[in-house]
Amino acid sequence: MKPIKINKRYIVLASIIVSLGAAVGINYWLSPEKALKNNINIMPSSEPAENSVLANTTNIEDKNKNKNKNNQDIEKIKLFFENEREQKEKYKKQISEIASDDKEYKEKIIQEIRQESKIETLIKAKMDDNLIDCLAKIGKDGCNIIVSLKTDLTKENVYIIKDTVKNETKFNNEEIKIIEKKI
């Protein structure tokens, strides 16, 4: 009896065919459509691949959550500024009623209200893209500006705000305080 001679080429070829078949089977089993049906997470990393169905669904959900959170945060900021404006108006009105006999003091309060309003309007106009809202409060010691921005407060923002306040009041840089209200 002759021994059967097995050629190495046939072994390598058979191995490749079996490996290829296994790869196709695994690929089919782990396909995104089938994974969605069976509720299987096929993305082992925390960052899903951009082209997969699961990744697109996850990205859309994440974007919607972030958008809703940002909108809620911005609404909270706007509500904060509305409440502060109401409080400021009530306070100024009470002071003007108490000082109704003192025309000079009442005129000073009216002038401060006008200046604050003008400063707020000018800052909003100059920082339109980045600014969510701002509030100016003038006192005898200086001017406080409360701002809420979409990004961080930069040196350029500080310069614009201080320059605007200096042009509308007699205060210098040290008397102008900028307070950032974060989202």
Render pLDDT for 73-130 as a digit per residue (tens, 0 to 9). Answer: 778 888 888 888 888 788 777 777 776 677 888 788 888 888 999 999 999 899 877 8
Domains along the chain with CATH numbers: 60-180 (1.10.287.4300)
Entry pTM: 0.56
Cα separation, 19 vs 133, in Å, equals 63
Q: What pLDDT was estimated at residue 132?
A: 83
Q: What pLDDT was estimated at residue 54?
A: 52
The residue behind tokens 């108490």 is 98
Q: Are 41 and 35 in contact (CB under 8 A)?
A: yes
